Structure 1
Amino acid sequence: MAGMTLPDAPWRARPGLDRLIAALDGAGGMARWVGGAVRDSLLELPVADIDLATRFAPEEVVRRLEAAGIKAVPTGIAHGTITAVSDRTVVEVTTLRRDVATDGRHAVVAFSDDWREDAARRDFTMNALYADPLTGELFDWFGGLADLAARRVRFIGDPYRRIAEDHLRILRFFRFHARFGDAIDAEGLEACVARANDLMALSRERIAAELLKLLVAPAAVQVVTLMEARGIFRPVLPEIDALGVARLTELAAREVAAGVAPDAIRRLAALVAPATAEAVGARLKLSNNDRKRLIQATAGPGDEGARALGYRAGIESAIDRLLLAGADPRDLLGWDRPPLPIGGGALVARGLAKGPDVARTLRAVEDRWIAEGFPGVDRAAAIADEAVDQALRSRRNA
């Protein structure tokens, strides 16, 4: 891990950041980088989202940004968050806060100018690291640097209190451990096990968002195995059992062998029995496309081959089905689903009357074209000629 200052990571040179820091008086100690960008830079990982904490009140943040010609979007101004867009670089700017009241789902906050108070309300020590935007000096009140060096996800202060403030932190504890962790923090684990029923109070959308991120984390299989064994899923997803974990373990090994990236919906399909997929998708309020994938993922590989399945079901769904069935999906990697070179109009031009015969014959043409391995236009035309001749003969003989 890097030394005791923030490394000069590539994201720090993004256009517009200097102007943003100047607008929020970074030189005067009024703004600091915080959260994931600091954590991931110290771990030498790519940084996606950039967060800046500031002592300025939200209204003053907006005023200063606009005066500097930086777009200010009040995405969460009631909770102190402004989205700043500076030369196309997007940064979440949040006023320092302290919790006034929490109920496990929502927090009432008051704005603050105390850095330590703001850090104390965060979830894990590794997420409560701040950095001076100019010098890179790090600020760590709760041992986050040591935990980061040890790859230990640890709650700030009392784990039970942190979980009572926001029940989603139970799932976040496991997700962060699956992404960053080495040896699991025993105190945090026991608190999550003891308070697992608190997950029932959360919206299913929040549960789904955390679960889907967890399922593609590097140590997802090991962590999900632990979660199932300790009863974490039982209150909200009782469909996940030891058999599902075994299927997930097999699927993850197949993904690696085939060179296919992990996919959250595919992995969820392995975790839940096929008969429960529809109910789980509805309960988690997945998108219509994701629900369809979840339900279809265990439909089997078919008997026409990988590319035929890819053509009929779509490449994404076909890869799901092949991997979950233990079949090889590599024929689909990098393959583009070709369009059928012949349409209904071409069959009419060959003498078929418009109507059911066209649709029926076109299906026959498509089936043969697929069976022959998606040949080009000339062969497709020959297939169409033969199919139309056969259809016309059948009509005459009827």
Structure 2
Amino acid sequence: MERMILPHAAWRAREGLTKLCGVLGAAEGKVRFVGGAVRDTLLGIDVADVDLATTHSPERVIALLKDNDIKAVPTGLAHGTITAVLPGGVPVEVTTLRSDVATDGRHATVAFTDDWQEDAARRDFTMNALYADPLTGKIFDYFGGIDDLAARRVRFIGDPLKRIAEDHLRILRFFRFHARFGDAPDQAGIDACTERANDLMALSRERIAAELVRLLVAVHAVRVVELMIERRIFAPVLPEIDSAARLARLAAREAGAGIAPDPIRRLAALIPADTRVADDVGARLKLSKVERRRLISATEPVGEEPATVIGYRLGKALAIDRLLLSDRPESEAASLIDWEAPALPLTGGALVERGLRKGPEVATTLRLIEEQWIAEGFPDAARVERIADATVAQFLRASNSA
């Protein structure tokens, strides 16, 4: 990747971005694009978030933005980050150049600097330490990130063990980035992550979960998870993950069905098909209530009912999870992609009009009608009316004879 000029990309024309860069001193070299936007543009990948690095202090950034009618939100003032809000509410993070004063594996104390290379040196991987001039597009590469991008190699800046000691989460970030971009494994990085895997125990489970769910849907997730299991990366925090076989099978079935990867579904494929294990893992990772319910559901058997019936009973997402994780044809899961659950064309009021009393007998009879409607494949309203007539008549006869 020899080109040292940032290619044109749609994100560079976002409304207000040129003004923001001008306000922050682009003409004087006081601000640069940094990180993912530069990396992904060089790789031809769509860019979501745009980050800027600047030599200005955070207080100066706030003052410049306010003086030029740009909304400034002090989202990470202690670490030098101000969020500038562009027209339409689009956020751009502006961070003052920094160096690490002290780290403990979870948090860092930083000092502000005006040295671009010093700022680059504290970043994790070479591909994330690329800067670009907003006016000329000139790329600044202090640690060989361009060559690593060309080789699709995720490589720590400097000593991998030191980088991991500064922030233990970099172990998971290394594998997540490798799953997204990597073709050529960096052996020194893999060895360092293996040696320091126990450091993951010091991290909050929320931070672990946040990295894991992003890793599991990456393009090379299966291959990288296999490597992580081989190197016992999961063992300290998720010992339940000891095989990627079900994940590999699931990924193939997702692709065959044309269904996008889902991190919770893929996590379910990595743990034993046991609801108690799923509940424990979900709690340990502090997943949301919805995510925990989904993880537990995905470990349950799918049953033998038609796919649409499963979809009606569970909801589309949970039904697709169970079908893809089962031995049933993947086409059944695919059939639910555009399927919308029908609504029973009958109300309790219609049963009262037929002579039932409000209360439990209406609810009971409505459930009986619904079950027959499901068993018959969700017939139309006319058929439901006939089912209702027959069911109510039978109920009333039984009541009268009692």
Shared fold per TM-score greater than 0.5? yes
In structure 2, give the amino acid aligned to 1:48.
A
Distance 2:145 2:256 in 1: 36
Structure 2 contact 72–83 (Cα < 8 Å) conserved = yes
The residue aligned with 2:255 is: 256
Q: How far does the alpha carbon of each residue in 1:332-368 deviate from its partner, in whole angstroms, 9 at most, with x for none?
A: 1111122222121211111111121111111111111
The residue aligned with 2:289 is: 288
Matches within 5 A, 1:186-197: 186-197=187-198
Q: How far does the alpha carbon of each residue in 1:187-246 deviate from its partner, in whole angstroms, 9 at most, with x for none?
A: 00000000000000000000000011000000000000110011000000000012xx11
The residue aligned with 1:230 is: 231
Matches within 5 A, 1:83-232: 83-88=83-88, 89-232=90-233
* Shift of residue 66, structure 1, vs aligned partner: 1.2
| 2:335 alignment partner, SS class | helix
The residue aligned with 2:76 is: 76
% same residue: 66
The residue aligned with 2:28 is: 28
For the aligned residues, what is the CA RMSD? Answer: 1.1
In structure 1, give the amino acid aligned to 2:264.
I
Structure 1 contact 298–325 (Cα < 8 Å) conserved = no
Matches within 5 A, 1:8-47: 8-47=8-47
Distance 1:299 1:345 in 2: 36
| 2:177 alignment partner, SS class | helix
Structure 2 contact 278–299 (Cα < 8 Å) conserved = no
Match of 1:384 among 364, 368, 388: 388
Structure 1 contact 200–236 (Cα < 8 Å) conserved = yes
Structure 1 contact 2–43 (Cα < 8 Å) conserved = no
In structure 2, give the amino acid aligned to 1:29.
G
| 2:148 alignment partner, SS class | helix
* Shift of residue 69, structure 1, vs aligned partner: 1.0
| 1:304 alignment partner, SS class | coil
Q: How far does the alpha carbon of each residue in 1:78-108 deviate from its partner, in whole angstroms, 9 at most, with x for none?
A: 1111111111232111111110000000000
Q: Which moved more, 1:25-34 or 1:151-160?
A: 25-34
Distance 2:312 2:387 in 1: 18
Distance 1:79 1:341 in 2: 58
Q: How far does the alpha carbon of each residue in 1:273-330 deviate from its partner, in whole angstroms, 9 at most, with x for none?
A: 1331110000000000000000010222222211111111010000001001132312
Distance 1:372 1:198 in 2: 56
Structure 1 contact 174–214 (Cα < 8 Å) conserved = yes
Q: Which moved more, 1:89-98 or 1:143-152?
A: 89-98
* Shift of residue 380, structure 1, vs aligned partner: 2.2
The residue aligned with 1:334 is: 338
The residue aligned with 2:399 is: 395
Distance 2:325 2:95 in 1: 43
Structure 1 contact 205–285 (Cα < 8 Å) conserved = yes
Which ranges in structure 1 are unaligned for 5 or more consecutive residues? none
In structure 2, give the amino acid aligned to 1:38.
V
Structure 1 contact 19–86 (Cα < 8 Å) conserved = no
Distance 2:167 2:371 in 1: 54
* Shift of residue 2, structure 1, vs aligned partner: 7.5
Distance 1:51 1:382 in 2: 63
Q: How far does the alpha carbon of each residue in 1:145-193 deviate from its partner, in whole angstroms, 9 at most, with x for none?
A: 0000000000000000000000000000000000000020000000000
Which ranges in structure 2 are unaligned for 5 or more consecutive residues? none
The residue aligned with 2:322 is: 321
The residue aligned with 2:305 is: 304
In structure 1, give the amino acid aligned to 2:246.
R
The residue aligned with 2:270 is: 271
* Shift of residue 397, structure 1, vs aligned partner: 2.6
Structure 2 contact 351–392 (Cα < 8 Å) conserved = yes
* Shift of residue 382, structure 1, vs aligned partner: 2.2
Matches within 5 A, 1:354-365: 354-365=358-369
Q: Which runs of 4+ in 1 moved over 6 A?
A: none
Structure 2 contact 216–267 (Cα < 8 Å) conserved = yes
The residue aligned with 1:63 is: 63
| 2:75 alignment partner, SS class | strand
In structure 1, give the amino acid aligned to 2:291.
D
| 2:194 alignment partner, SS class | helix
Distance 1:384 1:331 in 2: 29
Distance 1:130 1:152 in 2: 18
